[in-house]
Structures are given as C-alpha cells and as structure tokens.
A = this chain, B = another copy of it.
C-alpha cells in the first residue's frame, strides 16, 4: 500500500536548494578539517537552521521534524562532497545558481507561512529573511568565523527585497501564484546582480574599541 507521489516542481526546487545550502556548510566545515559527523551537522544546520528559528519564533513544530527528506538531502550532500570533493570547486557556479534558487524559495516559503498565521507583512518579511539567511549565520558561528553575510554579501538584503515585492504585489491585488513567482524572482535577481556586479552595502566606519 505504498504510494509514490510525483514531486511537484516546487518540491524539486526545494530539494536542490536544500542540497546547495548543505553543500555550502559542508565545504566550509571541510576547510576547518571537521570530521564527517561535524560536517554533516554544519551542513544540515545551514540548510534547515533558518526555517527552524522561524518555526520556533512562530511557535510551530519545526518543518524538518515532520518529514525526513531534509535530513536525507543533507546526507546526500555530505556523500557528494566525500565522493567528489575536488570537483565541487569546479561545480561552484552550478551551486551558486542552486543556492540562489534555494534562497528565493526559502524566502517565499517563510513569508507565506508567516502571513498564513495572521502576522503583518513586516513580520513576514523578517521571517522570510530569517528562513533564507539565518542558516548561514549558524554555519559561520559553528565554524567560529564572523558571519559572512554581516560583512560583504548582499544576501539577506535580497530576502528583504523579496518581502517588499511580495507586499507590493498583494497591494496591487496580483494573483497569488504570480505574486509568489515575482517575489521569488526578485530575490534571485537581486542576489545574482549583486554578485555579478560586486554590489555591496557601505561598511560602517570603524572605531577601534574593545569597550561596549
């Protein structure tokens, strides 16, 4: 009585996004000479950490506790790095595309889950950003580095743009599916353009201080 369901297009995208996020964590862990277990934990935290924080803040059961696919997907990412370690570097641009797709998708999922619980758009935008970007912060805390997205990447800001675009589409009473698409594409495009043209936010003028 097993039933096999053909995965939807969104599920396929989600799988590749999770895979790319996990790969990013596992690669950084391997540069720090973590063992397989450590690399898996960092990979899985990168992939599901943002959504877990979102679900804790929304008081929902974390999404990965109801479906093992995310942990299996991260395990496959570990296997991929173990088997094709050196190739992964050459696959960099492919993973960058997957990673950006994941970012777009995770952001839209975070926005919609939050809106469906009755929270306003500004909360949903924050939750979308957390879903997309907080996993990378956990990853960088685990490998004991200053989080990358705080210093140079227009990564989380792409999520914020996605949230604002989502709100604009809703305000214009655009169809639900089209709103999802436009919002996700806006995240993807901002991310790709930022990397291609080396766009970044201004750095805050530093002061030398060890005092608070």
Contact = CB atoms under 8 A, between A and B. Distances in A.
B206 A37 contact: no
A26 to B, nearest CB: 7
B206 A31 contact: yes
A201 interface: yes
Interface string A9-26: 000000000000000101
A29 B82 CA distance: 35
Contacts of A57: 52, 56, 62, 65
A175 interface: no
Contact of A35 (B38, B39, B41, B201): B201
Contacts of A7: none
Number of copies: 3
Contacts of A61: 59
Nearest to A209: B31
Contacts of A209: 27-28, 31, 89
B37 A150 contact: yes
A56 B34 CA distance: 27
B32 A146 contact: yes
Contact of A150 (B24, B41, B150, B203): B41
Nearest to A68: B122
B207 A37 contact: no
Interface string A131-164: 0000011000111111111111000110000000
A208 interface: yes
A212 B82 contact: no
Contacts of A89: 207, 209
**Which among A26, A32, A88, A212 has the highest number of chain B CB atoms within 10 Å?**
A212
The 6 closest A-B pairs by CB, nearest first: A38-B150, A30-B204, A35-B201, A24-B212, A144-B146, A39-B204
Interface of A: 24, 26-39, 41-42, 52, 56-57, 59, 61-62, 65, 68, 71, 81-82, 85-86, 88-89, 92, 99, 119, 122-123, 126, 136-137, 141-152, 156-157, 200-212
